[in-house]
Amino acid sequence: MPEFDTSHVKNIVLLGHAGSGKTTLAECMLYEAGLINRRGTVAEGTTTGDYHDLEKERGNTIFSKLLHTKWRGYKINILDTPGYDDFVGEVISALRVADTGVMLLNSIMGVEVGADIIWEYTEKFKTPMIFGVNKLDDDNADFDKTVREAKAHFGNKVLVVQYPHQTGSGFHEIIDVLRMTMYKFSNDGGKPEKLAIPDDEKAKADELHKELIEAIASNDETLMEKYFDKGELTEDEMKVGLKNAMINHDLFPLFCLSAERNMGSGRIMGFIDNVCPSSNEMPPQQTKSGNKLTCDANGPACIFIYKTISEPHVGELSFFKVYSGTIKVGMELVNETTGVEERINQLFLVEGNKRTTIHELVAGDIGATLKLKNTHVNNTLHVKGKNYELPTIEFPPHNMTMAIESLKKGEEEKLSMALHQLREEDPTFKVEVSSELKQTLIHCQGDMHLAVAKWKIEHQHKLEVKFVKPKIAYRETIRKMADAHYRHKKQSGGAGQFGEVYMRIEPWYEGMPEPTDLNVRGRDVHDLDWGGKLVFYNCIVGGAIDTRFLPSILKGVMEKMHNGPLTGSYARDIRVSVYDGKMHPVDSNDISFKIAGLQAFRQAFQEADPQILEPVYHVEVLCPDDLTGSVMGDLQSRRAIVEGIDSEGHFQKIIAKVPLAEMDGYSSSIRSITQGRAKFKMEFFAYEPVPFDLQRKLIDEYSKTEKEEFA
C-alpha cells in the first residue's frame, strides 16, 4: 500500500524571478518537516535542490528539481525551478504537472519581469496560485509597494492573507488575517508563537479580514448567502471558498516570508495541505481525442513524461506524473506516440540527486523511472487497450542561434551524440545541420543557455568545442527585366557539345500579367524549398530548341538559383522565359543545354538590378520604464525599426523589426544594459532588401572568398 493516497498528495511548483528565494524556501520546507537536520545555503552551495556542479559554480538554479516533504499527514512534491528566462523550458515542464504554483516576489525589487513572463504560462495552464512576498527582513523591503505591483500586474484577484508587523532587520512578526492571529518568530525562525493581534493593528487586520471574506464570498453563491445572513464566515468555510476560487483561477492568496531566516514557511506548508487542491480535485485531464481522464488511483494506469535527464553509468532517468491508476514495478505500459511497450522495472522517489526505491505510485503522485527504451518528454504511457494521449507541453521558440564546431578532427560523431543527448534533456535546445550554411547550428534561449550546453559538452562528454557566429541565410532576387543569351560550344576529338539559349528573366510577384511579346507555350510554377517561387515559361517558336532539352535548361537555372550569382545564397521570386536558341543535330545534348541555361541565367541576373535580401525578425523587448531609452538606443544601433511601445503593467514592451545579422550578441547585451531586468523574444518576420553599402560589402566578401577557393 502506498504511504499516501491521492487526496493526500500535493504537487507545488516554486516560481519567481532569479534571486527571489525559491531554492531557499524549498530548503526551509525540507528542514521544517525534519527531512534534513541542517539548512543548506545557496551561497555555500549546500542546498538539497542545487546539487549540480554547475549550479554550485554559478550560484543559481539552472535545472528544475523534484523534491518532496511530509507535513501533517500529507506528502508535498516540490518542483523548484530556475528564475532566468534562458531556462524557461524547465519552468514550463514543471508547471505542466503541478497542481499549485507558489510565486515568490522579492520585496526589495517588487514584481520583476521574470515573474510577469512566468505568469503568462500560469494563465495558460490555469494553475492555482499563491504568492509569497519574500526577503521582508531586508532593510530595503517594501511590502506595500510589492502588493500594489502584484495587484497591478496580476489583478485584484491577489488577496492579502498575511502582512508584516514591520519589515527590515526587525521583521519577526506576521499578522494572519485568515486566522486573525499574529505569529511571532525568534531570531532563528522556525515554529512561531501565536499571539493576539496588537490593538494598534486591529483596525487594519479587521479591514483586510473583511476584504478576504467578501472576495471569497463573491466567488461562491452559497457562501455569499451565509455571509449576508451572518455577516461572517468561519475559517473552514473560508478555506473551502478559497480552494474553489483557486481551482477556478479566481483568487490568489498572498503570504509573508523570510526564507533565509525560516520565517513563514510552515504556515505556507499548512495552507498547501489544508487548502491547495490535490490532483483529484482539479478538473479532469482532457486527452487529445477529447475524452476526460479522471485522476483516480483505481482507474486505468496512465502517466505523462515531463522531463528526462541522463545520469553517467546509469542511463536516462524519466520523470513522470501519474494521471490515472496505480503504477507498480513490473507493469507494462504502451507509449501512445511510438506504439512501443515499456516495462517499468524500477520506481523512485526523488530528492534532488538522491533516489529512493519504491514499489508503486498512485494517481496524482510524481516519480521517476530508469531506462525506458523509446520514450521521451511529452510522451503518454498507458495500459494496453487504451488510446490516451495527454496534451503536450508547447515550448517557446528560440531567441539565439550559434554554430558549433569540434576543435579536434574525427570527433564529429561524438559531438553529434552529445548534442542529441542535450536535445533529449532540454526540448528548448534544438540542433540543425544546415546544408545551406554548411554549419551545425544550435538554437537556444540565450547566452546562459548556451553556456550550460558548452559546459555539459566539455565536462560530461569530454569534447572540446567552440561556438562561432552563424552565417546569415541571405536570399537573392532581381528588380527589373533583363535578356541574355549564351552559346555553349565544345569540340573535342569525337562528338562535341552545343547548345544556345535566349532567355528573359523578370521579378516575379503574385498575379503578374502574362508576357505580351512572347508566345507562351508552357508554364511551370516551382515552390522553392527555401521560400519564394521560380516560374518557368516555354516560349520557343518554330522548334528552335527541341522540347526535350527544356528540362535540362530548367535544371541549369535551378542549379544557379541554389548558388546565387551575388553571394552564393539561394535565389527566389524570378520568372524565366526561354524564347529562342539553337541546337545541333549531332552535338546537342542535355549537358550542353544545362550549361547554356545556367550561364544565360547568370548573365541575365547580373543585368537585372540584382538585390540581396536578409532575414528580418519581429522582436519584442519587455523592460522597466526607466530603461526604455537605453534599450531603444541599443536596438537602433542594430538597424532596428522601432514600430511602437506598449505598456504591460509596470513594464514597457518595445516592438521592433531587426535584421538577424544585427542580433548577434543581443542576449548578452540586453542583460548587461538592464542588469537582467529585461526579457525579449523574437520570431522570423520576412526577407527584406539589405542597404546598398552592405550589399556591396557582401558581394565583395563573396568574390574574395571565391578567388581564394579557386586560387
What's the pLDDT band for 707 if we cut at 50, 70, 90? low
pLDDT in tens, 310-349: 877 777 899 999 999 999 999 999 999 999 999 999 999 9
Whole-number Å distance between alpha carbons of 610 and 572: 11
Range name among 94-98, 262-266, 495-499 with the lowest pLDDT average: 495-499
Note the pLDDT of residue 117: 80
Residues 97/11, Cβ–Cβ less than 8 Å: yes
Half-sphere exposure in the Cβ direction for 276 (13 Å, CA): 30
The full set of domains in the chain, from first to last, is 6-211+250-281 (3.40.50.300), 285-382 (2.40.30.10), 400-468 (3.30.70.870), 476-608 (3.30.230.10), 613-693 (3.30.70.240)
Residues 243/236, Cβ–Cβ less than 8 Å: no
Instruction: Answer whether residue 469 shows pLDDT above 80.
Output: yes
Instruction: Answer whether residue 58 shows pLDDT above 50.
Output: yes
Instruction: Answer whether residue 496 shows pLDDT above 50.
Output: yes
The mean pLDDT of 41-57, rounded to a whole number, is: 87
Half-sphere exposure in the Cβ direction for 303 (13 Å, CA): 33
Note the pLDDT of residue 708: 59
Whole-number Å distance between alpha carbons of 662 and 635: 9
- 3-class DSSP state for residue 329? coil
Strand ranges (E), 448-519: 465-468, 475-478, 482-490, 497-507
pLDDT in tens, 243-287: 999 999 999 999 999 999 999 999 999 999 999 999 999 999 999
Whole-number Å distance between alpha carbons of 225 and 542: 93
Whole-number Å distance between alpha carbons of 20 and 114: 10
Note the pLDDT of residue 120: 85
Phi/psi for 409 (5° steps) reads -70, 145
Instruction: Answer whether residue 667 shows pLDDT above 90.
Output: no
Note the pLDDT of residue 711: 44
Note the pLDDT of residue 710: 45
pLDDT: which is higher, 50 or 581: 581
Residues 257/263, Cβ–Cβ less than 8 Å: yes
Measured at the CA of 286, the angle between CA 284 and CA 292, to 5 degrees, comes to: 60
What's the pLDDT band for 113 if we cut at 50, 70, 90? confident
- 3-class DSSP state for residue 232? coil
Residue 516 vs residues 501, 520, 539, 543, 577: alpha-carbon distances, Å: 20, 9, 11, 20, 12
Whole-number Å distance between alpha carbons of 470 and 53: 30
Residues 601/505, Cβ–Cβ less than 8 Å: yes
Residues 90/64, Cβ–Cβ less than 8 Å: yes
pLDDT in tens, 428-453: 999 999 999 999 999 999 899 999 99
What's the pLDDT band for 91 if we cut at 50, 70, 90? very high
Note the pLDDT of residue 649: 67
Whole-number Å distance between alpha carbons of 167 and 578: 82
Note the pLDDT of residue 287: 92
CA nearest 258: which of 333, 192, 343? 192
- 3-class DSSP state for residue 99? coil
What is the four-CA torsion angle of 549, 550, 556, 558, rounded to 10 degrees?
Answer: -150
How much is the pTM? 0.87
pLDDT in tens, 388-397: 999 999 999 8
Instruction: Answer whether residue 359 shows pLDDT above 70.
Output: yes
The mean pLDDT of 407-421, rounded to a whole number, is: 92
Instruction: Answer whether residue 688 shows pLDDT above 80.
Output: yes
The mean pLDDT of 523-541, rounded to a whole number, is: 95
Half-sphere exposure in the Cβ direction for 35 (13 Å, CA): 19
Instruction: Answer whether residue 228 shows pLDDT above 80.
Output: yes
pLDDT in tens, 8-24: 999 999 999 989 999 99
153: left (phi over 0), alpha (psi -120 to 50) or beta: alpha
Residues 239/274, Cβ–Cβ less than 8 Å: yes
Instruction: Answer whether residue 193 shows pLDDT above 90.
Output: yes
